[in-house]
């Protein structure tokens, strides 16, 4: 069994459902301490975080990841126990194989090989590991980043181990992510009998033209790195349950996934302008879960593409699609940042798995990148 697979199995055996790390970070810290890393625990609330660093000079190459996993769902539907990592037909099954304990294992073993072969390397290696990326993300990476920012401790090159491949390892890496802005809109009306609409005011009818305009609006056309900003309604709730009552209110939940062509403020202003245009009486509560971030094609993307080409034999596409990640927090202190990990086809699903052959390959890609970035 190779070192990466062995370490991955240790981590995958821990039932670290968010935000409970169990013993994952302890296992990681012990491995890193053996090769000279200094481990700094930064625990907030129920969330465990570690900042591990070897070296005190630039450039700083940092790996970021999370030891927490999403719940398993109905365990009886799994082919194998989700916390008993199992090899079967060339695949490794367990919750967290792709997202993203195995990537952490690959980076740790890459560090071990790199340090053994380059004991006097110039620069620094670091790992930022959290246990709440899959949860609220309030006490994890964002708080560690705030501490590092206050200390003036910056990152030159950050690799987030999120699963990014679509079909085969290395075919896609993320060099940015869209922002996510949600709104909870409550439109006020007047309740009444449905047979006497002149004595009531239907908020659903009042809101409909504004919602139609919001849905039809072209917010932007995107740019070279991002698709166009999208607006989607996820929930509409109104009524008392009775079919003969005009409701007093209707609540609409919506979300923007937005590019660097927009800002939080620009989207808010345009939405309020449309709502006001229709004379609605409303309350609107906003929630920003992350701004868009981008690393333009440069040294880090080039080094990653070269390493992937040499080890995996595929050409890598740069992408900003998908949801959010902790990269949205880290970019505040990282000059260049990418996400690079396993195939994401089974993440959060029953029978999550990855190819066993991909494990040593990803570790080799990470090691090759260290060599190029710290030479």
Q: Which two tokens stand for residue 305?
A: 């593409």
CB atoms within 10 A of CB 80: 14
DSSP state of 342: S
| Cβ(231)–Cβ(199) below 8 Å | no
Annotation marks residue 133 as catalytic: yes
- 3-state percent breakdown (helix, strand, coil) of the chain, nearest 5: 30, 30, 40
Cα separation, 174 vs 160, in Å, equals: 9
Catalytic residue chosen out of the listed positions 20, 21, 133, 339 = 133
Separation of CA 286 from chain center: 20
Catalytic residue chosen out of the listed positions 3, 68, 156, 352 = 68
Cα separation, 100 vs 162, in Å, equals: 6
DSSP state of 237: E
Compute the C-alpha angle 165/166/168, nearest 5°.
Answer: 70
CB atoms within 10 A of CB 158: 25
DSSP state of 228: P
CB atoms within 10 A of CB 21: 26
Give the active site residues: 68, 133
């Amino acid at each position: 069994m190779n070192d990466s697979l062995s370490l991955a199995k240790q981590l995958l055996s821990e039932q670290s459902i968010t935000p409970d790390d169990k013993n994952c970070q302890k296992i990681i810290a012990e491995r890193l301490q053996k090769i000279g890393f200094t481990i700094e625990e930064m625990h907030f609330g129920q969330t465990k975080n570690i900042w591990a660093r070897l070296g005190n000079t630039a450039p700083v190459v940092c790996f970021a990841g999370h030891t927490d996993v999403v719940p398993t769902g109905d365990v009886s539907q799994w082919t194998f126990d989700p916390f008993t990592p199992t090899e079967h037909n060339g695949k490794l099954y367990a919750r967290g194989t792709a997202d993203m304990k195995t990537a952490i294992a690959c980076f740790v073993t890459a560090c071990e090989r790199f340090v053994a072969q380059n004991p006097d390397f110039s620069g620094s290696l670091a790992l930022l590991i959290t246990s709440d990326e899959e949860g609220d993300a309030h006490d994890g990476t964002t708080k560690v980043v705030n501490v590092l920012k206050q200390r003036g401790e910056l990152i030159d090159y950050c690799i987030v181990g999120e699963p990014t491949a679509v079909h085969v390892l290395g075919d896609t890496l993320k060099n940015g992510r869209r922002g996510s802005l949600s709104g909870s809109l409550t439109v006020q009306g007047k309740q009444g009998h449905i047979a006497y609409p002149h004595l009531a005011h239907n908020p659903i009818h009042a809101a409909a033209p504004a919602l139609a305009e919001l849905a039809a609006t072209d917010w932007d056309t995107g740019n070279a790195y991002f698709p166009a900003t999208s607006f989607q309604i996820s929930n509409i709730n109104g009524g008392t349950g009775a079919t003969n009552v005009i409701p007093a209110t209707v609540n609409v939940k919506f979300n923007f996934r937005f590019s660097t062509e927009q800002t939080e403020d620009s989207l808010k202003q345009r939405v309020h302008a449309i709502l006001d245009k229709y004379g609605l009486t409303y309350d609107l509560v906003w929630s920003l879960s992350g701004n868009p971030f981008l690393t333009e094609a440069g040294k880090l993307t080039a080094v990653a593409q070269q390493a992937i080409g040499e080890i995996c034999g595929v050409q890598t596409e740069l992408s900003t699609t998908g949801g959010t990640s902790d990269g949205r927090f880290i970019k505040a202190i990282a000059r260049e940042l990418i996400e690079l990990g396993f195939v994401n086809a089974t993440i959060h699903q029953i029978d999550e798995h990855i190819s066993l052959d991909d494990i040593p390959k990803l570790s080799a890609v990470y090691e090759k990148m260290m060599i190029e970035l710290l030479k």
